[in-house]
Structure 1
Amino acid sequence: MRRIGYARVSTIGQTLDMQIQTLNSFECHKVFREKASGADVERVQLRRLIKNLCHGDTVIVTRIDRLARSTFDLFAIVKEIIQKGAQFYSLSEPWADTTTSTGRLMLAVLGGLADVERDLIRTRTAEGRARAVQLGVKMGRPTKIGDIQRQDIIRRRQNGELLKDIAEGFGISVGTVSRITTGADSHKSRDLRKLSLGEKVSS
């Protein structure tokens, strides 16, 4: 059983020193260090952390906002950690501890909040597109989708959700969702291609 730390800063001039010092005081086996904004969908160190998780590991952060920028993102990331057989714990938010029954209950609540947030995003996206069409605005390229969002798209499709609903929720085209879920998306990593094709991803 290992403790794996994750530290992130987003503002120029900020340092990771305080986070790393705090995480090391909890005897973390390794600390992954990220310099990227919470809105950056391609957080390389976070992807590397999750890929290298082993069963029984615990991911530790100093604060939840170091890991995710929204309830939806937090739930998606923590869900992925648990699917690797690992646990999650936030030092500043003791309730965010999936090793306890209270923490697991909070995760279930987060799942419900994430669904609400996703529905709100879907509604706002649909309303925004409708207004844009009425004004004669041509829609631009879709928002860039990162690995975490791609995995969520694949799992939602595997759970039977309609392509149209998934596309609206992420503000992308049905064609993009289809390419991601069928493995035809050239931007995906090898592990994501395996996931989309229903193959087992090695830990």
Structure 2
Amino acid sequence: MKLGYARVSTEGQTLDQQAQRLEQAGCEMLFEEKISGAALNRPELEKLLSQLRKDDVLVVTRLDRLARSTSELLRVTEIINEKQAGLQSLEEPWADTTTPAGKMIMTVFSGIAEFERTLILSRTQEGRDAAMARGVAFGRPQKLRPEQKEIARDLVHQGKSISAVARTFGVHPATIYRCLEKK
């Protein structure tokens, strides 16, 4: 089944031309929205994606009706691929995953996106490693300073209860237990 998606950015624009082209392309169902492509929440697109089944084809007049960025387009195409459905753009014949050439192009795009994600992860890890080498502490700040931990340990060894020591420092008893573990 072909499912059409039409979108315009403002209330002043009309969906008529897109709807007509999608119907001519054989779309049995149309999902229409008057919303900016930059909007993160596009209910009709999400509804269409949730109704997409194996061997269905999501049809748009142009790819910019479907997504404003490459990453958004790749997110949508990934969902389409997971559902074993297809994507077809009437204006961009190369973006037709129902053809072998279209599948190849989208596979290349997906590969580039995966490569980009890998580079970002690698750079992030390099930055973390360099920061750690400079002595930057990661994670949540410690509730107690080292001298407070030492006092807490001494108080527990003197017989004060964990709860009483925790109240003294205004922390949860689990924090005091962790002080006792790390000597």
Normalized against structure 1, the TM-score is what?
Answer: 0.56
* Corresponding residue number in structure 2 for 1:47: 46
1:11 CA displacement: 2.4
Secondary structure class of the residue paired with 1:66: helix
1:115 CA displacement: 3.9
Letter in 1 for 2:15: L
* Corresponding residue number in structure 1 for 2:105: 106
- Structure 2: tracts of 5 or more residues without a match: 124-183
Q: Does 1:87 align with 2:100?
A: no
Change (3 A) 1:99 1:6: same
CA distance in 2, matches of 1:117, 1:13: 38
* Corresponding residue number in structure 2 for 1:22: 21
Structure 1 runs of 4+ aligned residues shifted over 2 Å read 112-123
CA distance in 2, matches of 1:114, 1:34: 27
Letter in 2 for 1:79: E
Structure 1 residues 35-81: Cα deviation after superposition (integer angstroms, max 9, x where no partner):
11111111100010011112111110000000011111111101101
Contact 1:75 1:111 in 2 (8 A): yes
Letter in 2 for 1:94: P
Letter in 2 for 1:17: D
Larger Rg: 2
Q: Percent identity?
A: 48
* Corresponding residue number in structure 2 for 1:72: 71
Matches within 5 A, 1:81-160: 81-115=80-114
CA distance in 2, matches of 1:19, 1:8: 8
1:121 CA displacement: 8.0
Change (3 A) 1:35 1:116: farther
1:106 CA displacement: 0.7
